[in-house]
Structure 1
Amino acid sequence: MLRHLSIASAMTSLPRLARRRLPSRASLALVVAFVLAVALTLPGCLRLGRPGVTIVLWDGPRWPDETGNRYHWVQSKIEEFEASHPFVEVVLVPVEWEDLRGMLDEAKNAGQLPDVAPFDISAGGVTLEEVREGLLEPVESFISAPDDLSPQARAAYTVDGTLWGFPATMTGHVLLLNLDLFAERGVEPPPGGRWTWEEFLSACRALTFDRDGDGETDVWGFATYVLPGYYEVWPFLYAAGARPLSEDLQAYTFDSEAAVAALERLADLIFEEEAAHPSTGTASVGTIFDLFADAERQEVAIEPWSAWAIDYLMTQDGVIKNFGVAAYPFPPGASSAGPSGEAATQPVTVGATAGFVVFRQEDPHRRGVAMELADYLTSTSSQYELARGYHAFPARRSALDLDPFAGEPAYERAAEIVFHAESLPPHPRWPEIERLIQRQIQMALLGIKKASEALQDAGEAVAPLLEDSEP
């Protein structure tokens, strides 16, 4: 029988006197410890000796059912799993996504880790240091059909050559196209959503025009913004084969010839070609989005966004509805380039992979059951369900082959692009490193510095962080 245990319900179980004695800002550590303690002592929820076992599962909210329940999907998966494992009980602890990392810290302090939880391996999820300290269980021997996974999704959960998680969904950046503007100017969208830089540049030129005949440009081919934590610009550099850090995370590498050339092309698009909106490079996220999406404005034809923007355009009023999706352009003279400069056959973008991890287990039997649960939650059928209900892009090719986005061409094309999204470097000081790099990229796109100077200055600013920390 599935147990659904919330912090709120756990708190109501506290003796009234104890609740009254708690200070108004009671430690989350106490709450976490109590939740897990209750999970392990409720009737029917004991950690049973073999062959029975209770597994504690954390998960976050997803799409609501007709009653507004945003945990219905994981509840149904638990029921299915328990039906096929009669001696297993799964206790669900629902956690808001933004609280996950804090909950983990408190659970570690309390010595009450969950068995399975939805974490990535990054500066904001489980860290490299925690992986190397043995917080997680390696999953290589337990995951089904690992060759079915996106190589980039697999890489996102791989540390020191070992796989530490079960990839489930992916997200990433794509180019959104205003197809009405393309039609107005007689510009053909890129076939299959793929194009070279030369084709992209030609389209941006043609889509930059004076609509009302007053001698002033009213519509531009391209626009984007630069802001810490947002990576719409970065796939242009990645597509050229550039990466911000070396594979061992020890050296800054965004000052390579490929990175400089890619950033120069973007700067030239703004200042030489004048085919990008003058707001390009600013931090004005809302303004940039409205230039593209506002049905009354439609002043920009092509903008890069994370895949959430597709949901927004599909569901909100007052925004354009006739839009398409394309990959970032491959660099000049090549169909694309991989991280080592080799020819690549797929579009390159930047994104993230989400999934489940299994925390360290002392008992082999419990370990096996926890692994089975994590594998089931990330199976082909589970990923298909998440794609259909949640528009989450699968990390398994077999789930994409089931055509979960049939009749939804924007999602379908985005899913193919995002299937190859590379995760950002999991450096422990990544937020600081990225902020310094973004500042210099912004200066280049605002015309304050040349691309070479900006990326070199970024390297000098980042160097002390790399020297003072060990990934």
Structure 2
Amino acid sequence: MGKSLVIGSILVVLCACAADAPPDEDEIRLTLWTQDYWVGITGHELDGVPLDDPRRAQYTVKDWYNKVTRDFKALYPDRGIHIDIETLDWASGFQKIDIAVASGRPPDVLISTSGIALKYARFGLLEAFDDDLSEEDIRDFGPFYGFSEYEGRHYFLPFIGGNRYMVANLEIFRERDAVHLLPSEGDRLWTYDQFLAAARATTFDRDGDGEVDVYGFAMPFQRNSPQQDQMPFFWGHGARQFNDSGDSLVINSEMGVKALQFMVDLEHVHAVVPRGSAGLRNNDVTDLWNAGRLAMRQAHHGTRRSHERALETGVIEEGVIELYPMMYPSLPGIDPGAFVVADSPCVFRQEDEEKRELAIALAKFLTNTRHEREAAYALSTLPTRYSALDVWADDPFQRYVLRVARYGTKDAIQGYGIPLVNMTLSAFQAAMSLQATPRKALDDLARRGNRFIRRDIERRLRAGAE
């Protein structure tokens, strides 16, 4: 072997050893996993930058978290702190989290949905924040803080708020001389009868060929979240998916059956939603909407921003859509209900007190007023602190979205909502396709779902006792 080759080989080995060098014994290592992230620090560095522009390579989905963790470590100059950051997607991320928890190797800090945190709190796997927050912080979080409660203790800090509501296309309502049918006062509340009247008025044959071209309403039943899409129609009937403790399905109540029957009738009696709704995906609904063939649909905190981008890229033509936000309908005397969530950091149980202190401090740092503003601006989401609401002070549309977040219900974020998504959708699809009556579909769902919940609780309790 030549002399230069020997020297080169030694250098490679030395470099490899340096890269894999064990951490300093005094260094405290924290792991931060997050399902919420955006490209760049502000989330807007690439606004208007073409997809093939090489400038895009300068930014990553960890930029903001890298900045924040650097700032956090600077608060502790006398301590050696290393923070490993990992981003998880919304498809496989839940499975990875569950596997890590089951193997006894969860992250120290996890940013995920409220329901995920509540699920792990049920089994005593999380640190509570009650003894580490000031009264000022608790007041500042407002109603979002209540979402984190389980058996009197609070297990996550609200961070990235999101909600659902309804939106109408005013262009279609003007076309049909039906703007007066939309709610306009206060929080823009209305009844199911009023909603149905608006949907009927905006379901029509536009080109005169005898076929319906524009539908009053549509929502997906395939590959979607029932908590976000279908459950608001249950809450508006006074029904719930789960009991108060979140460990039993009660969706098959009398009012639950009436709610599902109402959705079935939208297609099969009133014909104000597309035929074959059981097979609709979110993309199908979006295609109808973008083409100006849908008068009302459900919306979310980022709808206005998505609409602006669609206009910029030519996906939506000028003059086809004008957004008008409003709340879900409900029965007289019953407040509407909406999916409101706060993706939030939780801290898994720590044996080392110093590490626990730092993990709690990191979660608090991530959710301070400054960072709440930055995250809300980056993602067009809702701040979960009163002190950060000014991020949307000059935006009437987002101020309305913020205001109606008060109709959120904890039923939307119970921990077993996500594991039962497919089972729940199957029940709704069976009813919408007339393969089962709403009563049978919901009774079957409650029986199967409650069996799953009981077995899961028993399995986790056995694992915790071993």
Please report the TM-score for the alignment, with normalisation by the length of structure 2. Answer: 0.77
Residue aligned with 2:420, SS: helix
Q: Which residue of 2 aligns with 1:184?
A: 175
Superposition map of 1:55-454 within 5 A: 55-59=30-34, 61-65=37-41, 66=45, 67-98=58-89, 114-120=107-113, 122=115, 125=116, 128=119, 130-131=120-121, 134-144=124-134, 145-151=137-143, 153-186=144-177, 187-188=179-180, 189-191=182-184, 192-231=187-226, 232-294=229-291, 298-316=292-310, 317-319=314-316, 321-331=321-331, 333-336=332-335, 347-400=336-389, 402=390, 404-418=391-405, 420-422=407-409, 423-427=412-416, 430=417, 433-454=420-441
Q: Which residue of 2 aligns with 1:5?
A: none
Question: How far did residue 143 of structure 1 move?
Answer: 2.7
Pair 1:467–1:54, CA change in 2 (3 A): closer
1:414 alignment partner AA: V
1:63 alignment partner AA: V
Structure 1: unaligned runs, 5 residues or longer: 1-12, 20-33, 337-346
In the aligned structure 1, how far is the partner of 2:448 from the partner of 2:102? 35
Question: How far did residue 305 of structure 1 move?
Answer: 4.3
In the aligned structure 1, how far is the partner of 2:77 from the partner of 2:406? 36
Pair 1:418–1:15, CA change in 2 (3 A): farther
In the aligned structure 1, how far is the partner of 2:14 from the partner of 2:406? 50
1:379 alignment partner AA: N
Pair 1:111–1:449, CA change in 2 (3 A): closer
Pair 1:412–1:63, CA change in 2 (3 A): farther
Structure 2: unaligned runs, 5 residues or longer: 1-11, 46-57, 459-466
Question: How far did residue 120 of structure 1 move?
Answer: 4.0
Which structure's residues are more often helix, by fraction? 2
Question: 1:59 touches 1:93 (CA, 8 Å); kept in 2?
Answer: no
CA displacement, residues 393-425 of structure 1 (integer Å, 9 cap, x when unaligned): 22223322x1x2345444333333345434332
In the aligned structure 1, how far is the partner of 2:248 from the partner of 2:99? 33
**Identity in percent:** 23
Question: 2:225 touches 2:421 (CA, 8 Å); kept in 1?
Answer: no
Q: Which residue of 1 aligns with 2:464?
A: none
Pair 1:109–1:213, CA change in 2 (3 A): closer
In the aligned structure 2, how far is the partner of 1:14 from the partner of 1:263? 66
1:304 alignment partner AA: Q
Residue aligned with 2:168, SS: strand
Question: 1:63 touches 1:390 (CA, 8 Å); kept in 2?
Answer: no
In the aligned structure 2, how far is the partner of 1:300 from the partner of 1:104? 38
